[in-house]
């Protein structure tokens, strides 16, 4: 089929979302491991993982596919919120046991990251604690509750509302922050400024802490630019939250399931959130799934929250297999992650941040979208797929199964593209 016709008819029949035919006029046909192919037979090395969905490669890991086929032949949809099924129990038990926090936990299953966040809002928001705190640059979803927490781009909230009562505070971005602190050289000062802003400004002048239900955060901001905070930040935030009886909600939808070299990204920061949300990679690239892991004491009242497809046997069987495979991959993720760290640090960019196989690069303290977009488009022409993040950054998130050789191949393309782009712009 003619690619231009496919694009033209797609734009005619499908709702407008985030597709951009100028940046990515690519029509994907199939995938194999870390490689994607379009309908014209062109081959691309994937540094996007379907925005963190295909952590185990394309179309998925062979063992995950085998698990899916076996479960589909037996039972796929089991109305998990009305009847009991063993795959649902097995996955819930695994998540409760392997997630950080030495306390009793329960799990609510849904179908996406935004649904997982919506469930977390209902768990922590109470009449006497009606306000929530989120961070500038955050992305938590696009449904009404989750988009209320989102502060990534104004267009995400354009022409709709009113939203939930959310207070936004600066995220401790070491590269760019309101206090002009170099957070790489002086991380403690940056941490102190953010904590002081919440306690001395928000709590003292805007909303008293006893009216705050929860503080929502991403351990590494995804859509906001792949921003990595100082290592001690979430411990400081946890101390503040515990002091005032406020719950911490950790959104791991994009960074969870091994992406950072730990099963849960928050493990890199030695903090224990009260609620954790997961999705994307938990479905192995095959099925939609969301999970909200929470302190058992926060549990819903009977009938307060449910859904139709959450906890279906197929998705849960896949999720259990994904966890099993991902745990075994963690040493590999950290080893290949060193290649990315070392190679990216030699490139002509203004900031490199990341861990494991989650990396962001940025061009200038004043957002330079022109260079960023040029790099993404030219890389695709040379066979490397990348995605933007924030206003001027590129996110680099290959499948966790990528080999060192494949990593070096993609990074060599990226380095040459950046060199050429910075000369031309």
Domain boundaries, the chain: 3-60+329-424, 64-326
Q: What is each CA distance from 246 to 131, 163, 212, 242, 275, in whole angstroms?
A: 11, 21, 6, 6, 12
pTM: 0.96
Please tell me the predicted confidence (pLDDT) of residue 345. 97
Given the candidates 3.40.640.10, 3.40.50.620, 3.40.30.10, 3.40.50.1820, the CATH classification of the domain at 64-326 is 3.40.640.10
Residue 423: its pLDDT value, please?
Answer: 76
Structure tokens at 175: 């590269």
Report how far residue 205's alpha carbon sits from residue 192's, in angstroms, rounded to the nearest whole number: 18
Tokens, residue 205: 């002048």
CA dihedral 398, 399, 405, 407 (to 10 degrees): 10
Q: Where are the alpha helices (DSSP H) in 225-288?
A: 233-244
pLDDT in tens, 189-213: 999 999 999 999 999 999 999 999 9
The pLDDT, as a whole number, for residue 128 is: 86
| Interatomic CA distance for residues 54 and 38, integer angstroms | 17
pLDDT tens digits, residue range 301-341?
999 999 999 999 999 999 999 999 999 999 999 999 999 99
Task: Please give the CATH architecture assigned to the domain spanning 3-60+329-424.
Answer: Alpha-Beta Complex (3.90)
- Cβ–Cβ < 8 Å for 222, 395: yes
| Cα-Cα-Cα-Cα dihedral sign, residues 412, 413, 415, 419 | positive
Please tell me the predicted confidence (pLDDT) of residue 383. 98
Measured CA distances, 21 to 3, 7, 8, 27, 87 (Å): 11, 7, 9, 10, 40
What pLDDT is stored for residue 366 in this prediction?
63
**Do β-strands 247-251 and 275-278 pair in parallel, antiparallel, or remain unpaired?**
parallel
Tell me if 316 sits within 8 A of 54, measured CB to CB. Answer: no
Which of 253, 257, 325, 258 is CA-nearest to residue 292? Answer: 253
Beta strands across the sheet bearing 358-362: 351-355, 358-362, 393-396, 387-389
Cα(174)–Cα(362) distance, rounded to whole angstroms? 13
Between 313-344 and 62-72, two packed helices, what is the crossing angle to 10 degrees?
Answer: 170
pLDDT at 81: 79
Query: From start to end of 327-391, where are the E strands?
Result: 351-355, 358-362, 384-385, 387-389
Residue 425: what pLDDT? 62
| Residues in the chain with pLDDT values less than 50 | none
What does the alpha-carbon distance between residue 250 and residue 238 come to, in Å, rounded to a whole number?
Answer: 11
CA–CA gap between residue 119 and residue 112 (Å, rounded): 11
Output the CA–CA distances (angstroms, integers) from residue 114 to 118, 144, 420, in the order listed.
6, 9, 38
Task: Round to whole Å and give the CA distance between 23 and 376.
Answer: 8
pLDDT tens-digit readout, 54-78:
999 999 999 999 999 999 999 999 8
pLDDT of residue 92: 98
């Amino acid at each position: 089929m003619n690619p231009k016709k496919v694009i033209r008819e797609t734009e005619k029949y499908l709702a407008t979302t985030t597709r951009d035919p100028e940046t990515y006029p690519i029509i994907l046909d199939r995938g194999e491991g870390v490689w994607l192919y379009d309908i014209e037979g062109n081959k691309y090395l994937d540094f996007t993982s379907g925005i963190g969905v295909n952590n185990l490669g394309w179309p998925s890991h062979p063992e995950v596919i085998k698990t899916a086929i076996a479960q589909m032949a037996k039972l796929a949809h089991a109305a998990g919120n009305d009847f009991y099924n063993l795959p649902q129990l097995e996955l819930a038990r695994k998540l409760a046991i392997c997630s950080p926090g030495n306390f009793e936990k329960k799990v609510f299953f849904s179908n996406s990251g935004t649904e997982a966040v919506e469930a977390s809002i209902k768990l922590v928001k109470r009449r006497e604690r009606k306000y929530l705190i989120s961070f500038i640059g955050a992305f938590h979803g696009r449904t009404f509750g989750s988009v209320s927490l989102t502060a990534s781009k104004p267009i995400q909230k354009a022409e709709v509302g009113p939203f939930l009562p959310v207070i936004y505070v600066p995220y401790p971005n070491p590269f760019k922050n309101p206090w002009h602190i170099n957070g790489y050289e002086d991380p403690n000062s940056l941490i102190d400024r953010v904590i002081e802003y919440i306690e001395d400004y928000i709590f003292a002048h805007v909303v008293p802490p006893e009216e705050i239900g929860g503080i929502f955060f991403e351990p590494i901001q995804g859509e906001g630019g792949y921003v990595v905070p100082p290592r001690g930040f979430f411990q400081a935030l946890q101390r503040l939250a515990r002091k005032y009886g406020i719950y911490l909600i950790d959104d791991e939808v994009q960074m969870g399931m091994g992406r950072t070299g730990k099963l849960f990204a928050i493990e890199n920061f030695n903090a224990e959130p009260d609620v954790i949300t997961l999705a994307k990679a938990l479905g192995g690239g095959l099925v939609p799934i969301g999970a909200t892991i929470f302190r058992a004491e926060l549990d819903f009242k009977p009938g307060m929250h449910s859904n139709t497809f959450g906890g279906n046997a197929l998705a849960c069987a896949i999720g259990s297999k994904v966890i099993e495979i991902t745990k075994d991959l963690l040493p590999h993720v950290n080893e290949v992650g060193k290649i990315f760290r070392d190679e990216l640090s030699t490139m002509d960019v203004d900031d490199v941040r990341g861990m494991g196989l989650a990396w962001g690069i940025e061009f200038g303290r004043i957002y330079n979208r022109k260079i960023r977009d040029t790099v993404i488009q030219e890389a695709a022409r040379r066979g490397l797929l990348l995605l933007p993040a924030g206003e001027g950054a590129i996110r680099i998130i290959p499948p966790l199964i990528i080999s060192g050789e494949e990593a070096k191949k993609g990074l060599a393309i990226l380095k040459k593209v950046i060199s050429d782009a910075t000369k031309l712009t």
